[in-house]
């Protein structure tokens, strides 16, 4: 029997609609959004303690590409981000989600651990930082704030407990107010989500994602 591992839900809007604040930063906006998602999913899949990564999307191209990275895909039937995550968490709890190893990866873990949510825009993520944050949650509902301390880059449910996502403007405060534990690790790559051209410049400065010379 392998150790239980978490199920990482990665919500992703249709590529043409996602990351509107980055529009103009690359010649092909949809390719940029997909690059961000691919890097995020690959890092999550490589993290110790992760049993499976499930992308929650209605975008057929993203679904195909991210399946090829080793992720499973859940159809997004939500009316917004939090509704999509609640529905996905319910599908996982009900056993109605792609199993571990559904892609080409063979995972040394079983998906009996908690569900967590990770946005699809954390491309610099080091797998060790995600593993450390998961360990720091230590069975409690918890979250990791973004670099500014305002948004949320990781929400962890307690095992068997509700995810109760409160993503949106000021979500770090909303998650804290809802009783989730604020995790205080430095985790610079986990906390650097890419929302703006300035965020993109930071991760490119770290050697993550290539400069788009055709933009």
Ligand X SMILES: C=C(OP(=O)(O)O)C(=O)O
Ligand Y SMILES: Nc1nc2c(ncn2[C@@H]2O[C@H](COP(=O)(O)OP(=O)(O)OP(=O)(O)O)[C@@H](O)[C@H]2O)c(=O)[nH]1
Binding of residue 40 to ligand X (CB under 6 A): no
Interface size with ligand X, residues (CB under 6 A)? 8
Cβ distance to ligand Y smaller for residue 73 or 109: 73
Stretch that binds ligand Y, among 42-50, 65-73, 76-84, 184-192 (CB under 6 A): 76-84
Nearer to ligand X, 176 or 195 (CB): 195
Query: With binding defined as CB under 6 A, does residue 114 bind ligand Y?
Result: no
**Which of ligand Y, ligand X, none lies near 41, with the C-beta cut-off 5 to 8 A by kind?**
none
187 binds ligand X (CB under 6 A): no
Cα dist. 145→26, 155, 198 in Å? Answer: 27, 9, 18
Q: How far is the CB of 58 from ligand Y (least distance, A)?
A: 7
Give the Cα separation of 13 and 19 in Å (integer): 9
- Closest CA relative to residue 49, chosen from 132, 157, 121, 156: 132
The answer to whether residue 171 forms part of the interface with ligand Y (CB under 6 A) is no
Task: Report the C-alpha gap between 54 and 142 in whole angstroms.
Answer: 19
Instruction: Build a one-symbol-per-residue string for 116-155: x at contacts with ligand X by CB under 6 A, - elsewhere.
Output: ------------------------------x----xx---
Quick check: 57 and 23 in contact, CB under 8 A? no
For position 199 contacting ligand X by CB under 6 A, the verdict is: no
CA 71 to chain centre: 11
Q: Cβ closer to ligand Y: 109 or 153?
A: 153
Q: In the complex, which residues of this chain contact ligand X (CB under 6 A)? A: 146, 151-152, 167-168, 171, 193, 195
Residues that bind ligand Y (CB under 6 A): 11-13, 18-21, 56-57, 76, 78, 80-81, 84, 119-121, 195
């Amino acid at each position: 029997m392998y150790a239980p591992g978490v199920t990482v839900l990665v919500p992703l809007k249709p590529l043409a609609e996602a990351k509107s604040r980055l529009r103009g930063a690359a010649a092909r906006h949809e390719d940029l959004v997909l690059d961000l998602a691919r890097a995020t999913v690959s890092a999550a899949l490589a993290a110790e303690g992760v049993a499976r990564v499930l992308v929650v999307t209605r975008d057929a191209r993203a679904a195909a590409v991210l399946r090829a990275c080793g992720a499973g895909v859940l159809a997004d039937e939500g009316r917004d981000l939090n509704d999509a995550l609640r529905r996905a968490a319910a599908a996982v709890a009900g056993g109605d989600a792609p199993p571990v190893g559904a892609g080409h990866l063979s995972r040394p873990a079983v998906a009996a651990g908690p569900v967590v949510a990770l946005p699809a825009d954390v491309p610099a993520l080091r797998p060790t930082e995600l593993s450390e944050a998961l360990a720091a949650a230590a069975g409690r509902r918890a979250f990791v704030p973004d670099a500014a301390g305002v948004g949320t880059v990781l929400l962890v449910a307690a095992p068997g407990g509700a995810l109760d996502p409160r993503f949106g403007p000021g979500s770090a405060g909303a998650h804290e107010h809802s009783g989730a534990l604020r995790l205080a690790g430095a985790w610079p790559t986990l906390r650097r989500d890419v929302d703006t051209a300035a965020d993109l410049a930071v991760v490119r400065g770290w050697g993550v994602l290539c400069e788009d010379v055709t933009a």
